[in-house]
Amino acid sequence: MPQFFRFPAYRAPLLRNLVLSLVLAAAIALLGSVLASAVALAATLYLTYYGFVVIERSAQGFLSPNDYPESLEPAGPWRPLKMFAILVVAFFVVGVVSALADTLLLAALAVVALLLPASVMTLAVSDSLRQAINPARLLDMALKIGLPYLVLFVFLLILMGGSQQAFELVEPLLGESMGLLVFVS
């Protein structure tokens, strides 16, 4: 687990995040909303691609980006778009469930949230969108992993919630500059 939380502090990921943050902040501060949106989309696709590289390398036992061999094949270039498709399908399903029975909205959101890490793992392993949206396959993967899967899920929730909480703590100190807010975010 310490490796999981230490990863962003390694030189390569830290520089990658800083450069992308500066590019996004500059795009928002200097470009119109359409161009800034295009830069944000490109940065998001790149970060998603890099995330799949990290998942693949970690699965192969390389827990430090300093140890990544250059000779390995890179992650599939279409995975960021497949990940976007997974999110569209997931929220479509949540919307349909909510429309059919509003009382099931919370349950649908919980199921989607619980199975999303399994979906990402399945996509990283199989590169198959069909397998990554198959609820039976995702449930099977989560159950095979067992308790460590729930621990991973909790850590992901803490990571996402913690970054939001940290941002809310420093946001009042940053003023009204949208570029600075995006950079820090």
Over range 90-109, report the average pLDDT.
87
Banded pLDDT at 177 (limits 50, 70, 90):
low
Over range 156-177, report the average pLDDT.
73
79: CB partners within 8 A, 6+ apart: 48, 49, 52, 123, 124, 127
**pLDDT score of 183 more than 70:** no
For residues 21 and 88, the model is more confident at: 88
Cα distances (Å, whole numbers) of residue 75 to 7, 49, 52, 172, 173: 18, 7, 6, 39, 39
The pLDDT assigned to 4 comes to 64
24: CB partners within 8 A, 6+ apart: 36, 39, 40, 43, 182, 183
Over range 134-143, report the average pLDDT.
93
The pLDDT assigned to 46 comes to 84
Q: Which of 110, 130, 113 is nearest to 122 (CA)?
A: 130
Cα–Cα distance measured from residue 80 to residue 102, given in angstroms and rounded to the nearest whole number: 31
Considering 65-74, 150-159, 175-184, the range whose residues carry the highest mean pLDDT is 150-159
Which of 40-44, 95-99, 170-174 is least confident? 170-174
Whole-model pTM over 0.75: no
Banded pLDDT at 130 (limits 50, 70, 90):
very high
